[in-house]
Amino acid sequence: MLLNTYEPWKFAFSGENDEIIENSFGIIGVPFDSTTSYHSGSRLGPIVVREASFGFEKYNTVFNKDLTTSFYDFGDINVVPGNCEATCRIVEDTVNELLDLNIKPIIIGGEHSASIGAIKALIERYGKLTVIHLDAHRDLAFDFVGEKYSHATVMRRAHEMGAGLVQIGIRSSSADENEFVKSTYNVQTFKTKDVHKHMDAIEYYLINIDGPIYISIDMDVVDPSIAPSVGNPTPGGLFISEIEVIIETLSHKNVVGLDVVETAADRLGDNTAVVAAKIIYDFLTLVE
């Protein structure tokens, strides 16, 4: 490194990339928002979330624990603006490279479609995957305005690949999506009001899941009074304390990857970016 220069932003507390140890976590950003249908700007998510991560202390007071997990920030992938399928393929290839190094992916989005590539790579690697999907929306449309690769179809593609889905925080879905859930067997739903009233039951359900788990968090699952800068703000969402319980519960399981997507913030210090950074920070504090 040259004197009087600084490295590009990396997530706070990330390790040096030339000293990588195996069985760790690797952050990649996906600055892509080409299928966004409402509030655009999630292509800026990776940079504002990384910047917000510097607001946290290495000691995580909420969980009485230091962040000691080994993780690295590999920067952003080269997306293909306007081409969701090609971008998903690059995400898939990059996740495969991480898995070859025995590094588990953490993806900062970017629109939710990035998850398609990560889930594809992970399901091929492990043969089986349960996706814990925190979102206001089901994202189970077969296509969205004729497109199979879209932020609105992510979990339908995951389901086609054979992933089991546990959808938490749902409060908006089409009649077709609800019909699809009724007609299939491996989609479990916990609506927002279930989270508010029956968290014990959700914890019990999560702790009993077998096999590898991928966590996919659309920031619109959080109440828009707390996290308004998302692609599709939806009233009546989860609170931060509830997300903390879910992340802590899942940290005792075999989590093989995480994404935190749809942060559509256009300025530093944005609430939504801070909350997204906190979710990643909490996860990294809790996982071993």
Q: Can you give the binding site for Mn ion, defined by CB under 5 A?
A: 135-137, 218, 220
| Distance of closest approach, residue 137 Cβ to Mn ion, in angstroms | 4
Angle at 269 between CA 216 and CA 223, to 5 degrees: 45
H runs (alpha helix) in the chain: 45-52, 84-100, 114-126, 154-160, 175-183, 192-197, 199-207, 240-250, 271-286
| Residue with the shortest CB distance to Mn ion | 137
Q: Would you say 192 and 245 are in contact if contact means Cβ atoms under 8 Å apart? A: no
Closer Cβ to Mn ion, 12 or 140, answer by number: 140
Pairing of the two strands 59-60 and 65-66: antiparallel
What is the spatial distance between Cα 54 and Cα 269, in angstroms, rounded to a whole number? 11
| Distance of closest approach, residue 135 Cβ to Mn ion, in angstroms | 4
| Distance of closest approach, residue 243 Cβ to Mn ion, in angstroms | 15
Closer Cβ to Mn ion, 172 or 251, answer by number: 172
- CA 14 → CA 221, 234, 282, distances in Å? 26, 32, 14
| Distance of closest approach, residue 139 Cβ to Mn ion, in angstroms | 6
Closer Cβ to Mn ion, 137 or 157, answer by number: 137
Closer Cβ to Mn ion, 140 or 274, answer by number: 140
